[in-house]
Amino acid sequence: MGGPSLYIIDYILHGEPKSFIIRAEVMNNSEAWHWASCDAGVGRIPKFGREKVKRVSKPLAEKYGITDVRWRASVAPTWVKESG
């Protein structure tokens, strides 16, 4: 199945753990650092899907107290039919 997928991004902001879910076409370490910086209020979120914005790099994000950025694909729930 193509199209956007859901990803969970975890990071530390000034020693406090943070986490959020994002829908994206592509996810990699560079994208995760950028979106973590957006969630922390450092990066800029594009107003339109095709708008080009300057990405926040890992070194720049670390200057603002963002560390330990990790991402993973969200798992779809498995529905179980109840008997009875």
- Taking the model in full, what pTM does it have? 0.82
pLDDT at 51 over 90: no
Structural domain includes residue 79 = no
Q: Which residue has the higher pLDDT, 51 or 8?
A: 8
Number of domains in the chain: 1
In the prediction, which pLDDT does 12 show?
A: 98
pLDDT at 2 over 80: no
In the prediction, which pLDDT does 84 show?
A: 65
The pair of structure tokens assigned to 26 is: 């592509």
Structural domain includes residue 10 = yes
Tell me the mean pLDDT in the region 51-59.
90
The DSSP-derived string for 7-69 is EEEEEEETTEEEEEEEEES---HHHHHHHHHHHTTSS---SSTT---PPPPHHHHHHTTEEEE
Give the structural domain span for 39: 5-73
Structural domain includes residue 82 = no
CB within 8 Å of 81: residues ≥ 6 apart:
none
Tell me the mean pLDDT in the region 36-44.
95
